[in-house]
Structure 1
């Protein structure tokens, strides 16, 4: 190797730029491509264009924040609204049922107290038996007030008036029931109360559990009511001549069965999930209907027990 081809010395290499004497060297690195929203300058590489607003850059994973309406179709949203309405209606119906049974409990407690007075207090019992005109006066008040309450049922703005009429009606019917109970002995009264309680409890549980719709049998119950009235008139005429002694018990049994069906009908009107239902604003009328049915069942059962013991 000649002297010209020999590598430079240490001092020369420091003072002289590298490759200066050779005239050759590596190409300077190419500057990075300028940012451009245009097409990609390198084939096979992602472009540097701005992504559309609202979407992550290409190749990045999408992050979705789940919401209540995510993956819910329009039909499902409608079902959710229907469920909300159904829940609200169910809450209103339950509050309505509680009001009805609270009023009914107050009415029945008052009636039981009046019956106890007429049964255990001998002066009151003898007074009623001696003056039957008082009973007919209570029956007239009961019938008139019942008709007024049925005609004026419904709006809340009439609730105070309906409540006063309901109190008068309860007083009249309690007095009438106590009067009838005074004609029977204590055993018959207690037996009738016990049977009535069992029947009412069984009918209420059955109506809340069964799928049988008694509200669609209004025409049949109306017919049975008219039939009961006709049988009652015939019984009153026949018994005045003492032709058929057992006819009175038969009439009482038929009446107890028919009013038990009426109790089932009116109970299902309160529930609200049948063909017919009472408006949640008509809790006075709902309590009135159940009260009349229960008292009538008690009176017919009392007649059955009194006739059997006679």
Structure 2
């Protein structure tokens, strides 16, 4: 019985005394040791005075420095760094597009030269006219795939494989068409296309006129030109063909300016192509240049 009471008394001594505000106001705090568990571990609170940070004893006077009420620093939007980063991304995108376009054009010119100066291949293409139509079908299918399937043209290396396949098919189609023209006329058309493309690209880079805002009007003009082509196929007049080729050259020169401004972007452009769409941008420029080549080839051939 005594042992039970003794253990109870020892247990009671292990707990801290209850909180009593008058007691702590009258007596100074000297520190208390508490036994934790049954081991030899104790938590000792050293004596000392502690300030209440929430309710300071000596608050600052009215109008004085109040550290607790200081506002956080104002967030400043650094527009110069943001503009620089956007411009850097856009420049890298432009370099990637024109490097891809240059490789496409060099490869295409090489294929055309093979069709022009390899007599066996030239003779075979003229005897098998189905080759040209089959290449046209492949080109149309690849254009639709690259234009509509964004998961293909954005996924590396699938986008480069599809673009390379399209470039080969387009080069074979152009080579099969070039065998029906004189080699000198084809070379003149290549030079004229390079000159027009270079001039229109410089104009698009330096001009402040926003051609991207008139994309809808140019689309309507393109359909009008297609209707005019059907009329030329029915009437079959050489002068009408020349006029059609001139109109097409002007229209696709404007398209080259439009697509160049879509790639360059800028504050004075209404629309721009996303930097992720470098394959689609190179495809647009390549198609503009190829169409210019075919139209200029017709003009030079008719004039000769």
Give the TM-score range, shorter chain.
0.7 to 0.9
Count of aligned residue pairs for this structure pair = 232
Q: TM-score if structure 1 supplies the norm length? A: 0.71
The answer to whether residue 265 in structure 2 is matched with residue 272 in structure 1 is yes
Q: Which residue does 1:15 correspond to in 2?
A: none
Shift, 1:147, TM fit? 0.5
Report the counterpart of residue 246 of structure 1 in structure 2.
Answer: 239
Deviates more, 1:135-144 or 1:252-261: 252-261
Is 1:235 aligned to residue 242 of structure 2? Answer: no
Instruction: Say whether the 8 Å CA contact 2:135–2:173 is kept in structure 1.
Output: yes
- What is aligned with 2:131? 134
Alpha-carbon distance in 2 for matches of 1:157, 1:222: 25
Question: Can you give the 5+ residue segments of structure 1 that lack an aligned partner in the other structure?
Answer: 1-51, 54-72
Contact preservation (8 Å) 1:253, 1:304: yes
Match of 1:183 among 163, 177, 180: 180
Match of 1:307 in 2: 302
Deviation (angstroms), 1:155: 7.8
Per-residue CA distance 1:124-165 (angstroms, 9 max, x = gap): 112111111100000000001000000123787523222211
Which residue number in structure 2 is paired with residue 225 of structure 1?
222
Kindly indicate whether residue 166 of structure 2 is the aligned counterpart of residue 169 of structure 1. yes
Structure 1, 163-172 or 282-291: larger mean CA deviation: 163-172
1:11 maps to none
Is 1:143 the equivalent of 2:140? yes
Secondary structure of 1:159's aligned partner: coil
Give the superposition deviation at 1:74.
Answer: 6.7
Of the candidates 202, 208, 211, which is equivalent to residue 211 of structure 1?
208
Aligned twin of 1:261: 254
Deviations 1:199-257 (A, max 9, x none): 11111111111101110011111011101111111212222xxxx22111111111111
Secondary structure of the residue that 2:156 maps to in structure 1?
Answer: helix
Is 1:98 aligned to residue 95 of structure 2? yes
Distance in 1, Cα, partners of 2:93 & 2:261:
13
Counterpart residue number, 2:23:
none
CA distance in 1, matches of 2:136, 2:243: 23
Is residue 288 from structure 1 mapped to residue 283 from structure 2 by the alignment?
Answer: yes
- Distance in 2 separating the partners of 1:226 and 1:301: 20
Task: Map Cα deviations across residues 30-62 of structure 1 (whole Å, 9 max, x no partner).
Answer: xxxxxxxxxxxxxxxxxxxxxx99xxxxxxxxx
2: CA distance between counterparts of 1:157 and 1:183? 37
Please tell me whether Structure 1 or Structure 2 has the larger radius of gyration of its CA atoms. 1
Q: Output the CA distance in 1 between the equivalents of 2:188 and 2:203.
A: 22
Shift in Å at residue 190 of structure 1?
A: 1.2
The C-alpha deviation readout for 1:271-306, integer Å capped at 9, x for no partner, is 111110000000000000000000110110001111
Aligned alpha-carbon RMSD (Å): 1.9
User: Contact 2:116–2:122 at 8 Å: present in 1 too?
Assistant: yes
